[in-house]
Structure 1
Amino acid sequence: MTVRNGRDYMVSPILKWPGGKFRLSRHVFDKIVEREEVYGEDWHVRTGQRYHEPFTGAGGMYLGFRKRGLLNSRKKTFLSDLSFHLSTTLEAIQGDSWTEVSGLLGGIKDDYLEALKTELEPRLRNGRPLEERFYYRKRKRFNELYDYIVNGSKSKPDVIEFAALMVFLNKVGYNGIWRVNSSGYYNVPEGESASYNNVHEHDKLREVHHALKDTVIHHRDWKESFRDVRRGDLVYLDPPYLPLEGSKGTFNQYSAVKFERRDHWLLASESARLVSKKGCRMIVSNHHTEEVVRLYSEAAEEESVRCDVYKIPKVHNVNRIGEGRVEINEALFFISNFT
């Protein structure tokens, strides 16, 4: 926890991530307090217990839980994600090389602002090939580094540059989107109205570094993560959201692997089974739709575990074909053996 001007300060994620749960963490914690007061249930992580996030993203829920005192165990927290880019970057920020990541990122920002002095001039912007502009040269370099690292050449300078470039591209890319193609190459175009001031945030990098020191970061899928879960542990699941019928705005590919409908049904089934067999506690977030509620409720009933669902006013604006932008509420599922 960080204190600024005499007040507690919430350490927020260093990356903008699709579907980030930093804001939602407050609602989840409120429900945890409510369940303790109404049912006498304890959803905190106590001594000897561990916390798991198999779909970590930028770590918004973990950072929110950590600040609010939900994680009270000295046991390590397990943060996992199938995005190689994300897990590699978080590991670099977690380690002692975070200062080098910050220094390089500051230099990239300065060079970018200098390049924009000419690139933003209409006569040059329209006449210069995209691949010659600063952003696209850095995007190309980032994808080259991805090839080097994913194929085993994990030299420290390459990882540091990779992490710094990921933060830069994440902040400057179009509309906060993070997208890779089937080969794992980042392919988001440059944003038109990027906020250049938050490209390099040294203090926030330091705060996130300290928050990540108590974690074990893995590049792996949720099935591998489930193997580490023990009795009494708390698991938070934030999978790519189930696509909405008729929607063209529900994105489900943050890594090179898509998360399909059949994956959602398998995840719901295995989650309920894990709670039943291991005696852990689980919180899941997704769209609040009839299909999603049925999916988790039926899975819990099949395993004879308790599943309570809450509708959280939201927050998501999804572009449905023929309807324009409509609001979709958030669903929170609390799955446990509590009676």
Structure 2
Amino acid sequence: MKQVYSQISSVAPKPFVKWAGGKRQLIPILNENLSKSFGTYFEPFLGGGALLFHILTERKGQKCSISDLNSDLVLTYTTIRDRIDELISSLKNHEKNYHKDSKSYYYSVRESNPRSEIEKTSRLLFMNRTCFNGLYRVNSKGKFNVPLGRYTNPNIVNEKNLRSVSSILQSSKVAIKCRDFESVLRDAKKGDLVYFDPPYQPVSDTANFTSYTNKNFTYEDLNRLADLCLKLDSRGCNVLLSNSDSKEVADVFSGKSWKIKKIHANRSINSNSKKRTGHFELLIKNY
């Protein structure tokens, strides 16, 4: 079994969920903007973890502390790490039932509220693979509310990548927590790198999408984040932050500690494909 496992997990790990604001397409730019050396890597808005997987692949033995306020997402990371065989078995069951009657099965799973960690995790991954546009969104009651997507043959199990992710999380020094972003201040010390990729500030009245949890990321939260970044800066931490190309963001990071760079980025999950291109966002750092 170990031989099969090592062959399957030899592919480079990549994000196992499609997440609004995911950073896979920006990895080359983010990599150029990492500090040359750092202690522990912190990522308090984890999401799909594109930069985390890049760092773990490129820097063997890198110590990381990752967290998110979405408890279902955090559970998914720990389940993939600790119980991969059971999870894959559950996903294969979803796949089999989906192909019998995709519509009725999708909505029955969407309405379900499983208790076990395995079933909760496989439900999230199944919904993410089969829902409209791969969009993770919950309403104010925390209920997943995205309709069925139009897919001929979605890759529901994606076993090679899941085993690769499990393998690298098991073999690395990665602490995974469910907590608010401010908690990073308790642990980060001089020389550490903290990457913030929060839900973006809207650039227009209709562009407000912050529903990864049932709590919106507000302008007050942005100011709380800016204050935290200043505290980390005064402690000697390397701080890197992604956000939208908006006046609010530029204003709260207008102090002398911050270097702001405008970068080109596409939007991978806008429902209108013509609106996915031609966007800019800001990359802000203190080093």
The interval holding the TM-score normalised by the smaller chain is 0.7 to 0.9
Moved more, 221-230 or 310-319: 310-319
- Partners of 1:89 and 1:318 lie apart in 2 by 21
Deviation at 1:164, TM superposition (A): 0.8
| Aligned-partner SS, 1:330 | strand
Unpaired runs of at least 5, structure 2 = 1-5
Deviation at 1:31, TM superposition (A): 3.0
- Partners of 1:280 and 1:24 lie apart in 2 by 23
Cα deviations by residue, 1:289-311 (Å, 9 ceiling, x for unpaired)? 3332222123xx3xxxx321222
User: Which of 97, 103, 115 lines up with 2:89 in the alignment?
Assistant: 103
Deviation at 1:318, TM superposition (A): 9.8
Unpaired runs of at least 5, structure 1 = 33-41, 120-132, 149-157
Over alpha carbons, which structure has the higher Rg?
Answer: 1
Letter in 1 for 2:32: D
Say yes or no: does 1:264 pair with 2:222.
Answer: yes
The structure with higher relative contact order (CA 8 Å, sep 6+) is: 2
Deviation at 1:72, TM superposition (A): 5.2
- Length-normalised TM-score, structure 1: 0.75
User: Which of 56, 60, 64 lines up with 2:46 in the alignment?
Assistant: 56
**Number of residue equivalences:** 276
- Partners of 2:168 and 2:126 lie apart in 1 by 21
Deviation at 1:110, TM superposition (A): 1.2
- Partners of 1:102 and 1:317 lie apart in 2 by 26
Identity of aligned residues (%): 30
- Tell me if structure 2 keeps the 8 A contact 1:311–1:332: yes
Deviation at 1:207, TM superposition (A): 0.5
Instruction: Identify if the C-alpha distance between structure 1 residues 50 and 15 changes in structure 2 by more than 3 Å, giving closer, same or farther.
Output: same
| Aligned-partner SS, 1:198 | coil
Specify the alignment match of 1:43 in structure 2: 36
- Partners of 2:106 and 2:44 lie apart in 1 by 31
Deviation at 1:226, TM superposition (A): 2.4
Specify the alignment match of 1:308 in structure 2: 259
- Partners of 1:65 and 1:25 lie apart in 2 by 10
Specify the alignment match of 1:129 in structure 2: none
Specify the alignment match of 1:170 in structure 2: 128
Root-mean-square deviation (Å): 2.5
Cα deviations by residue, 1:30-84 (Å, 9 ceiling, x for unpaired)? 234xxxxxxxxx5333xxx211100000111101222233x654x3x11100101
Letter in 1 for 2:216: K
- Tell me if structure 1 keeps the 8 A contact 2:129–2:154: no
- Length-normalised TM-score, structure 2: 0.88
- Partners of 2:277 and 2:27 lie apart in 1 by 23
Letter in 1 for 2:78: E
Instruction: Identify if the C-alpha distance between structure 1 residues 68 and 288 changes in structure 2 by more than 3 Å, giving closer, same or farther.
Output: farther
Instruction: Identify if the C-alpha distance between structure 1 residues 205 and 195 changes in structure 2 by more than 3 Å, giving closer, same or farther.
Output: farther
Specify the alignment match of 1:220 in structure 2: 179
Deviation at 1:212, TM superposition (A): 1.9
